[in-house]
Structure 1
């Protein structure tokens, strides 16, 4: 069984085309698909494209080619033709040998290691607030993608760039300085990142109060009269004017901007406060990452990288990729790539975000020599990354061809959008607590773990809750916007993580009842039941699916594969007897099948960062 079925079948089709129709085109594309569930077979060949070469109808080609393959390939036991689709049935013996010789291997699904290195960036939060539900989607996508790439053989480095500077961070610092009364997280008994986030919300509350009071002043009323030519309703005008007020009139805004300038000038008191509050946030982040089960190989900080990229701007000028305007600012013209003209440096020579990202990409290449870099960032930054990648390509950076923006849609709650400044976000820690509580509530309806200790039951409930959270988020394709419902996520009968866990638990339970079974008898098994055949063909697809999901940076494919495999296991469990099968060979074979399915479920869910309990 050294040659994979798709390769074997494709080669057989080419031989058949030559023998039947004298077609020898080596570049001919042979389309092989999985057979639809309503038809017999495992692999389908599309015959429509062959009509021009064979000069026959698709159905006739299918019948003749099917008979040829059945005669010439011992792996093909039968065939059927549905219009222009030739469905091939693989022999029971092939599937039995595949299960016993390959599918039970501990490394099944993993590709051989390569030397190609990939950097995956994810999380990359601001240090003015705790991680929230939106960050959770980012983190889970980035982590599972990195796991997929490792399974596909790549050498993966996980990184994040922490946005630890800027006006948002200064807002939290200023609010603590003015209203905090020297309070500390430990003194208040609050998780440190939540503590800092409370001051970010407090700044916004005080700013809104200041803004409301200012709107009653003579200055504000004059502005409303002079600068509202569209005659917007007063509330709409002030909403649109908010940023102008912050930058021009606000006392709080002015104080926050002054603090940012003092930070940039390395004022000792400001730096001390900055380090203290950021330290609180990092302590909180570390705990949240631990609970989510993720880690990083290297952390980058915007405070270290925000000046990077200036040398690349100069190199771009020298190469003629960039140009300089009369005011000294540096731009790149990307209109020929259907983008626009993008500023690289301001007229005073200071950096922009794009400048920093250019420098950070070069830094990561210098650090890791990675030929691929994956940026896990929300879809509101799609244009930014189109520009960044195009610039790096024009600068002829050696990694430019391997850049990918893992773009994802936002996460809503059943109650609507979240807003950090208004304190309406669902914090990641609170979310984890909620799904674990939902898992606990659900467990009260069952009594399957009554013989376990309280600590063991608590750990199982934690696993179930975290599986509910992770699976519910990862199963949605990255680019789709989604709504997260904690109650729906723990449903044991739905398309959920706990449903998949339950299938795995069944495979472990049957093994506990038959620990001494002689599995060698499985080699004598002869005829597959339909549910056995379906399960084995699903197992066969797993390694290729992992590779495809890694190539497409899409862990949702693995999530849905695990769900379908779990569904197949539950059907198998219902349709056939395992321990009371009618022969030792059937018992041994079905136990072997349970073990292989359990191994793949555990491996696949592990790629998503989901742990599998032994009991539920």
Structure 2
């Protein structure tokens, strides 16, 4: 459509020049004021040019100028196959595009320009040249394989990255791998209970690594809750066992860490195989196990500054009412940042990851491609980072989708 806009602008400029001669007006005319716009209503046309700026030069009302200019253009319309009609609509000269002609021209241009098509503005420049944009997407968990939601997110994140790159941006694709936490320990506990004795591995069972670890996660849930309508088969103590394993992990217990690494490697091998098959790639992998400690440091700093507070149960929290509003009961909304036992929660690592990324690759903009179920999470995350005084918080953008 850019070509048609430029062509229509040229028609209007030529018509104004002819009209100027007919009216005997001397001196130069500023054609910078000729701007092609989209009419507010479809029935008015596809594109249009307002002529308010020329009322003083012609000493005439803009609707009169528009009517005469449209007549001049109509006289040469046979030479302008890109348009099916040109008409004055008040102070505007509007036109309807010849869809068949414009489509053919567009296809011809695509075939001529090939991969470079759509990457430049009308003047040949790239709109995002010189800008550094970091994009995060996918965010797999190392306790299960990717699901359809991940694949949709991958497609969106990869598309956004390619569009930004096409527009001239220096794009840095990143991924945060959620490879620690209570959900990971649940799969680990199931492995110890049901597979460790037999020395089971994905290879020995003929399974993809992420599928095997995902099976362990399902086995934990079945063990915890028991069979349907058979409460006597439940093992509620399994939840406590998983929580104790998480504490040991954070304490650096050698046995727990060894099992964690082995199962993480299995899952990542499977996930990367899926990425390869779907054409998705990343410039840098970030791991929650590496960034959560930095997040805890930030929280300790915020606690010392009085930005966060310690609740009666020993957990560290922040009042986020200014970011998300008060609860339905009118009370302040609080976000837990560290559990009462000192272990971290999901947002802990997100805080650390945000800080680490900006240190690693200072950007003009950071785009989180994450579904709208996480709208609350990102409002809180950005609020916390802003309260901590990080001046790059305004460069963060949550690209939400439903």
TM-score (norm 2): 0.74
Matches of 2:40 and 2:104, distance apart in 1: 19
CA contact (8 A) 1:14 1:24 kept: no
Q: Which structure exhibits the higher relative contact order, with contacts defined as CA atoms closer than 8 Å and separated by 6 or more residues?
A: 1
CA distance in structure 1 between the partners assigned to 2:274 and 2:287 by the alignment: 19
Structure 1 residue 400 corresponds to structure 2 residue 393: yes
Is 1:86 the counterpart of 2:94? The answer is yes
Match in the other structure for 1:339: 325
- 1:148, distance to aligned residue in structure 2 (A): 0.8
Q: 1:47·1:61 contact (CA, 8 Å) conserved in 2? A: no
> In the superposition, relative to structure 1, how do residues 56 and 62 fare at CA in structure 2: closer, same or farther (>3 Å)?
closer
Distance 1:350 1:280, change over 3 A: closer
Structure 2 residue runs of 5 or longer lacking an equivalent are 121-125, 327-332
The superposition leaves residues 175-201 of structure 1 with CA deviations (integer Å, 9 ceiling, x where unpaired) of 111111321111111111111111111
> What's 1:105 paired with?
113
Q: CA deviation at 1:66?
A: 2.0
In structure 1, the partner of 2:180 is 165
**1:369 corresponds to which of 358, 362, 378:** 362
Contact 2:47–2:96 under 8 Å retained in 1 = yes
Q: Deviations over 1:500-535 (max 9, x none)?
A: xxxxxxxxxxxxxxxxxxxxxxxxxxxxxxxxxxxx
Q: What does residue 148 of structure 1 align with?
A: 163
State yes or no: 1:45 paired with 2:48. Answer: yes
Kept after mapping to 1: 8 A contact 2:188/2:263: yes
Structure 2 counterpart of 1:118, from 128, 133, 149: 133
**Closer, same or farther: CA 48–294 of 1 in aligned 2, 3 Å:** same
1:348–1:45 Cα change, 3 Å: same
In structure 2, relative to structure 1, the CA distance for the partners of 1:12 and 1:365 (3 Å cut) is: farther
User: 2:5 is matched with which residue?
Assistant: 6
- C-alpha change, 1:76 and 1:89, in structure 2 (3 Å) is farther
Q: Which residue of 1 aligns with 2:38?
A: 32
Report the 3-state secondary structure (helix = DSSP H, G, I; strand = E; otherwise coil) of the residue aligned with 2:145. coil
Aligned residues between the structures? 368
User: Counterparts of 2:141 and 2:118 in 1: how far apart (Å)?
Assistant: 37
User: What's the C-alpha RMSD, in Å, of the aligned pairs?
Assistant: 4.5
Question: Judging changes above 3 Å, is the alpha-carbon distance between structure 1 residues 98 and 188 closer, same or farther for their aligned structure 2 residues?
Answer: closer
Aligned residue for 1:306, secondary structure, equals helix
Supply the distance in 2 between the matched residues of 1:82 and 1:29 (Cα, whole angstroms). 15
Query: Which of 232, 240, 252 is equivalent to 2:238?
Result: 252
Q: Distance in 2 between matches of 1:199 and 1:314?
A: 35
Give the conservation status (yes or no) of the 8 Å contact 2:35–2:49: no
Name 1:490's counterpart in structure 2. Answer: none
Q: Evaluate the alpha carbon distance shift between residue 404 and residue 393 of structure 1 in structure 2; reply closer, same or farther with a 3 A threshold.
A: same
1:115/1:398 Cα in 2 relative to 1: closer, same or farther (>3 Å)? farther
Tell me: CA distance 1:61–1:171, structure 2 relative to 1, closer, same or farther (3 Å): farther
Of residues 355, 358, 362, the one that matches 2:351 is 358
Structure-2 residue corresponding to 1:271: 257
* Counterpart Cα distance in 2 of 1:331 and 1:12: 64
Match of 2:222 in 1: 205
1:293-304 equivalence runs, <5 A:
293-304=279-290
Q: TM-score, normalised by structure 1?
A: 0.50
Q: 1:101-150: per-residue Cα shift (whole Å, max 9, x none)?
A: 88612422223372211111111111111111111111111111111110
CA distance in structure 1 between the aligned counterparts of 2:103 and 2:179, rounded to whole angstroms: 55
Residue 389 of structure 1 and its aligned partner are, at CA, apart by: 2.2
